[in-house]
Amino acid sequence: MTVSDQAVELRLPALAITQSPGRVLYQFAVDGKLLDDFATVSRIRRDDESAVQGYQRPESLQHITAIRKYIESDAPMIPNGIVIAFDDRVRFEPSVKSDTYSVPGEIVIPVDVSEAPELRPGWIVDGQQRTAAIRDANVSQFPIPVTAFITANEEEQREQFILVNSTKPLPRSLIYELIPGTTGMLPPSLARRKISAELLDLLNWDSESPFHWRIQTPTNPEGVIKDNSILRMLDNSIIEGYLYNFRDPVDGTGDLEAMATVVNDYWTAVSLVFPGDWNSTPRKSRLVHGAGIVAMGFLMDAMCDRLRDENRLNVDGFLAEVSLIADSCAWSSGEWELASGTKRKWNDFQNTSKDIQILANHVLAAYRNSRRTR
């Protein structure tokens, strides 16, 4: 279906759904390539008197590009529809008489592509990024579900925009736990973490792993180590540390079993050198706190390179190396004596990039100094 340059009426099969007195929704499907012909975005701005007008945020080009690439992939599916507010030029014509809350018929939308965008009968309340992605995608058509309501009141449009977009997003932890079982295309930000999430999953459920049932996830709320701390530690190593050696840089997959062996051997050694600190909680021990997990991950990478060259990349090899820094750590009590000459109470380190870097530098320096004096 195409829309000519002249004014026409676009008639689409639709359902009118009455939710409450005076509140009717219209649901229909339309080729997403046609959305720009009858709907526009009420971009948020301020008028000459500094009053807020419109309600939509600017387009996110990165987000649009990610959606467009997905649409251009094999067998894409976008089940969540676009929400549009129509003015009273749009009408619904029922095909049957019915006393039920759902009535079939046609929605009739006037289309005049010669009109300025702000004069179109529809305003996109939710879905501007998807609309732009479909518009730019190199596909001939892409049908999309639409939920619409009719109102000439911008306040009601803005109200619905706020309600649609202020719902609580999915917890990141839940998303990360779902990723390992996802085989379809993911947004780039999540695709980069897929292998880390798969490795975390393997560590948490392997009965031989020191992390067995210790990583807190939605399905393991009793775990004491935050999943994001583990993911950050694994990300660092997979992206530019020792675990990168087991990753396929082309498709982002990797040898999970080989990665898990290295991680388990290293952290087994850590748990043996610091048993009390390891079998504790983040509040009582910085070893199982985000700062300690990520900092000790950097130490793992440094040790792996040396132990691989010495053919000692196993629990015993790690045990000998981790023992070298035992006297330089204050995971649960006392003070950290830093190279700068400053001292910090054992629990002063927080899960911030700055503190993690300071702690990582400390354990790495302690390791290098101990090897030199051994």
What is the 3-class SS of 215-229, one letter each residue?
EEECCECCCCEEHHH
pLDDT in tens, 222-258: 999 999 999 999 999 999 999 999 998 777 789 999 9
> Residue 55's pLDDT is what?
39
pLDDT band at 275 (very low <50, low <70, confident <90, very high): very high
Q: Is residue 33 left, alpha or beta, with left meaning phi > 0 and alpha meaning psi from -120 to 50?
A: alpha
Residues ≥6 apart with Cβ < 8 Å to 330: 336, 346
| Residue scoring higher pLDDT (57 or 323) | 323
pLDDT in tens, 142-167: 999 999 999 877 667 666 666 666 66
| Residue scoring higher pLDDT (58 or 204) | 204
**H and E: helices and strands count for the chain:** 13, 14
pLDDT band at 52 (very low <50, low <70, confident <90, very high): very low
pLDDT in tens, 94-129: 999 888 899 999 999 999 988 888 888 998 888 888
> Residue 155's pLDDT is what?
66
> Residue 161's pLDDT is what?
62
Whether 354 shows a pLDDT value over 90: the answer reads yes
pLDDT band at 292 (very low <50, low <70, confident <90, very high): very high
| Closest to 330 in 3D by CA, of 346, 350, 342, 343 | 346
The 10 Å Cβ neighbour count of residue 154 is 14
The 10 Å Cβ neighbour count of residue 218 is 13
The 10 Å Cβ neighbour count of residue 132 is 23
Task: Judge contact between 292 and 286, C-beta under 8 A.
Answer: yes
Residue 193: DSSP 8-state: T
| Closest to 126 in 3D by CA, of 162, 88, 90 | 162
Task: Judge contact between 124 and 40, C-beta under 8 A.
Answer: yes
Q: Which residue has the tokens 């987000």?
A: 63
The 10 Å Cβ neighbour count of residue 161 is 22
Q: Which residue has the tokens 């101990």?
A: 370
Q: Rounded mean pLDDT of the chain?
A: 88
Distance between CA atoms of residues 67 and 30, nearest Å: 18
| Closest to 131 in 3D by CA, of 152, 117, 114, 149 | 117
Q: How many Cα atoms within 13 Å fall on the side-chain side of residue 200? A: 30
Distance between CA atoms of residues 337 and 343, nearest Å: 5
Helix (H), strand (E) at residue 94? strand 91-94
Distance between CA atoms of residues 298 and 301, nearest Å: 5
